[in-house]
Amino acid sequence: MWKSSSLAFARKPFALSAACALATCLAVPAMAAFPDKPVKIVVPFAPGGGTDLVARTMGITMGQELGQPVIIENRPGAATIIGTEAVAKSPPDGYTLVMATVAHVVNPSIQSKLPYNYEKAFAPVMLVGVSPNVLVVRAASPLKSVKDLIDAAKAHPGKLSYASQGAGTSAHLAGELFKNLTGTDLIHIPYKGAGPALTDVLGGQVDVMFATAAAVGSFIDGGKLRALAVTTAARSPSPSLAKVPTIAESGVPGYVADSWYGLYVPAGTPADVIAKLNAAAKKAVQTDSFRHRVEGEGLIVKAGSPEEFDAYAKGEEARWRKVVKENRITNE
């Protein structure tokens, strides 16, 4: 009897421990598969520009692939830094991305101080695509060619202006590079996105703009803007821009200033989550609807791996750092 009672007593702590462990496991909910709530893409520009167009067009199919809505949030200002900082300081869980442009890799060279560590704050997801900037004027402008612009700028130094979607953006760099290589004095007018910048170009408040092809394609096709030249080394394969000369062949040899779009998440985001986002983004840009919407405006879809985007962005950062230094480009 004593042995039996002792054995039963000895077994009770083990039984109690097992029961507690089971209760604990049952009390902790299983980790939900990503994503189990809406995903947000921050566009660091105002609505209406090329970056906004690309993000919104992608977001529809990405949401279908992920099984959750993809929300586009415009957070313009400070040469994309406001929106980019918001993403850098977001939880690294895959629910917040930024649609970055060339400004993302240029800001470290022209900003005296950034509120985030450019090299450590982000993880690449995918390079969406690259496209030319397009030098445009309103349809009623007397400027018919790059030569006309150069001649007018030299005849009236400091009188002609060009718009950009913000300091440090591809449009700003394109304009400053143009000024340096042509010896002209154009006044830079920065905006908080391509939409408001184009509004003033169309209204005649600003003379020209080096805009992304995605932002101005419909205005060119609709006859509201005239394309003088593209900023790439070769002419664009887009049907609407194929006959538009490059700035280099228009009398400014060596001129090249590409534009691009790419997705980042905060550093520390799990690799499997990045892989899901990459797969959804890749699917989105390979749809006929996306290609029809943006390739006709000059965007060449890339849709590679996170590693390929990382290598591309690092190359762009080094290239533009050299241009910024040599041409003394600032964020003013």
Query: Looking at the whole model, is its pTM more than 0.75?
Result: yes
pLDDT of residue 25: 46
With a pLDDT cut of 70, the percent of the chain lying above it is 89
**Helical spans, DSSP H, in 183-305:** 194-203, 213-221, 271-285, 288-294
C-alpha 282, offset from chain centre: 15
* pLDDT tens, position by position, 297-325: 678 899 999 999 999 999 999 988 988 88
* pLDDT tens, position by position, 177-190: 999 899 999 999 99
| DSSP string across 77-128 | -TTTHHHHHHHHTS-SSSSEEEEE-THHHHHHHH-S--SS-TTTSEEEEEEE
pLDDT of residue 216: 87
Parallel, antiparallel, or unpaired: how do β-strands 300-301 and 122-138 relate?
A: antiparallel
Q: How many other CB atoms are found less than 10 A from the CB of residue 119?
A: 10
For residues 29-51, average pLDDT: 86
pLDDT of residue 296: 66
What structural domains and CATH numbers belong to the chain?
39-130+259-327 (3.40.190.150), 132-258 (3.40.190.10)
Q: When comparing pLDDT for 324 and 126, which is higher?
A: 126
Least confident range from 43-52, 133-142, 243-252, 263-272: namely: 43-52
pLDDT of residue 31: 55
- Cα Rg of the chain (Å, integer): 26
Residue 32 clears pLDDT 80, i.e. is over it = no
